[in-house]
Amino acid sequence: MSRTYEIMYLLDNNAVRAGWNEAKAAATGLVVKHGGKVLSARRWDERKLAYPIKQRRRGTYLLAYCELGPDGIATLRRELDLTENVLRYLILSAEAVPAQELELTLAESQAGFVVPPPPPEDVPDVAEREAQREEEGEMEEIPVGELAEEEA
């Protein structure tokens, strides 16, 4: 019996820069390859990652809803693990596809829809890092001063 799943992909921005539609097709194509059906797929967001993943500081999220059998999930996971352009993925079972997702997928597939290209990687340069270190240094000094006052 096939079930509905919510799949969130974290795609490499380098792949997205080469073409959003191609990157999306590659990600959703894997579901079809493992015997599934893609119900909706859309760009969720492009953002700075909370921590670097495979030396990437930014990434694009693709949110898809699919129908897939239990055997398909296992093989899909195995293939996603080996796919370089998918930095992370998360597969959850879903009750149904939210109506909003279908609308947004439709909006994205329209001809006039332009997916904004990802901004360049914002690797902090040396000066910025030093400024940050100084800031942290100042923060550490404050509690020391407070302690001294309390003791006095």
Partner 1 sequence: MRNERHDRGDRFEAPTYEKVKAKESDLDYKNVELLKKCVGGQGQMFSRRRTGLTAQRQRLLKNAIKRARHMGLLSFVD
Residues that bind partner 1 (CB under 8 A): 8, 10, 44, 47, 49-51, 53, 59, 61, 63, 87-88, 90, 92
Distance in angstroms (rounded) separating the CA atoms of residues 11 and 44: 11
Between 112 and 143, whose beta carbon lies closer to partner 1? 143
Considering only CA atoms, give the Rg of the chain. 21
Between 11 and 39, whose beta carbon lies closer to partner 1? 11
* 56, 11 Cβ separation under 8 angstroms: no
CB of 7 to partner 1, least distance (A): 11
CB of 35 to partner 1, least distance (A): 25
CB of 61 to partner 1, least distance (A): 7
Between 8 and 102, whose beta carbon lies closer to partner 1? 8
Distance in angstroms (rounded) separating the CA atoms of residues 120 and 99: 33
